[in-house]
């Protein structure tokens, strides 16, 4: 081969490499997603960032009119309920990664009588995925699932009473987590701490499989949580793991946490839900 032909071949190879390295090529390699519980508080930022990344998003919600980013050409919104398996199947094509954000809207001042949303809903999601051919499920639990309260606190400190009143919710989360290895899917369990609607702080820390330090500041932003979640869509790093997501920011009611504002926001989204019939947001 002449020097000219060698040079031409190298130039062609370099050009091909540059084409493959363009953002469009990276975008083409990203997986599309189905967001179940698409009006959960963490959903708007996940949907927004996914669309900005060029992904196609299918959003399943009991209240489709409340899903953000409506009208985007890459967003399809479907009315559905995790207690109605056929509606889950209608949202799946078979090649998407499924992100479950299901969770009841509850008043933490009121003790929950019972809870089975996470176990029943996740089992229905998994059955629908296997029927349609979807392989990977990312489920959202909570850092509170690591330490389910079993004794009623003696005092009235808000955090302690919150964990006590919601102990059956966290117990259902914990039971759902134990189900995951037997569902026959690739999976990741995400356990975020208390999330706030603030700009990205880029300060999240992670702990895998029940190693989060007790008393660690649990506050993370929705922006940072969404970024971490979408990274897991294309990564196998934490497959079959439970990942706690927190920060060094200490939670302090009346300072960086406003209980009244949080409660008003939940009430504005609709009636509080309670008991085993509670459905996804």
Domain boundaries, the chain: 31-268
Spatial distance between the Cα atoms of 238 and 83, rounded to a whole number of angstroms: 28
pTM of structure: 0.82
- Looking at residue 38, its pLDDT comes to 97
pLDDT band at 9 (very low <50, low <70, confident <90, very high): very low
Contact indicator for 256, 219 with CB cutoff of 8 Å: yes
Calculate what percentage of the chain has a pLDDT beyond 70: 74
pLDDT higher at 248 or 279: 248
CA nearest 143: which of 46, 211, 202? 211
Class of domain 31-268: alpha beta
For the segment 76-101, the average pLDDT, to the nearest whole number, is: 97
């Amino acid at each position: 081969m002449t020097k000219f032909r060698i040079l031409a071949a190298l130039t062609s190879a370099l050009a091909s490499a540059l084409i493959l390295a363009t953002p469009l090529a990276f975008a083409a390699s990203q997986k599309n997603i189905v967001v179940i519980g698409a009006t959960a508080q963490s959903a708007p930022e996940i949907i927004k960032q996914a669309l900005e990344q060029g992904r196609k998003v299918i959003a399943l919600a009991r209240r489709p009119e409340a899903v953000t980013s409506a009208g985007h050409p890459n967003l399809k919104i479907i009315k559905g309920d995790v207690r109605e398996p056929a509606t889950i199947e209608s949202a799946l094509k078979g090649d998407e990664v499924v992100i479950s954000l299901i969770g009841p809207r509850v008043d933490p001042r009121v003790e929950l009588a019972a809870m089975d949303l996470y176990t029943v809903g996740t089992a229905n999601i998994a059955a629908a995925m296997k029927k349609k051919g979807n392989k990977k499920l990312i489920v959202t639990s909570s850092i509170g699932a690591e330490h389910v309260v079993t004794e009623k606190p003696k005092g009235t400190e808000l955090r302690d009473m919150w964990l006590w009143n919601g102990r059956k919710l966290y117990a259902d989360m914990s039971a759902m987590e134990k189900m995951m290895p037997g569902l026959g899917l690739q999976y990741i369990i995400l356990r975020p701490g208390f999330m706030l609607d603030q700009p990205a702080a880029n300060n999240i820390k992670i702990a895998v499989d029940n190693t989060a330090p007790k008393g660690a500041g649990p506050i993370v932003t929705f922006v940072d949580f969404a970024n971490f979640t979408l990274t897991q869509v294309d990564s196998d790093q934490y497959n079959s793991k439970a990942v706690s997501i927190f920060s060094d920011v200490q939670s302090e009611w009346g300072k960086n946490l406003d209980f009244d504002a949080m409660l008003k926001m939940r009430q504005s989204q609709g009636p509080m839900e309670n008991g085993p019939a509670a459905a996804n947001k």
